[in-house]
Amino acid sequence: MKNRKKAVAAIVAAVLLLVVLLFPIRMNLKDGGSVQYKSLTYSITKVHRLMPESEAEKEGKIKPFEDGYQIEILGIRVLDTVK
């Protein structure tokens, strides 16, 4: 009976640890509409921010926005599609 209680306690602790490490919090950034989902182990940012008009004209863009995704796992940037 004691072994079963220990096993259940270990499973509950593991589930709680996973929830804390993997459950993201949504943050709206004040840069033009970017949204960031951040947890302790990873971060996903959907970037939609204004760029300076001079830079937009230089790149020949019609709309002065930078769009893309940034994904970080354990602080290491894995994907960056912001142009």
Give me the DSSP letters along 33-72.
S-EEEE-SSEEEEEEEEE--HHHHHHHT-SS-EEEEEEEE
Residue 8 has pLDDT above 80, yes or no: yes
Contact 47/69 with Cβ under 8 angstroms? yes
- The predicted model scores a pTM of 0.75
Residue 45 has pLDDT above 90, yes or no: yes
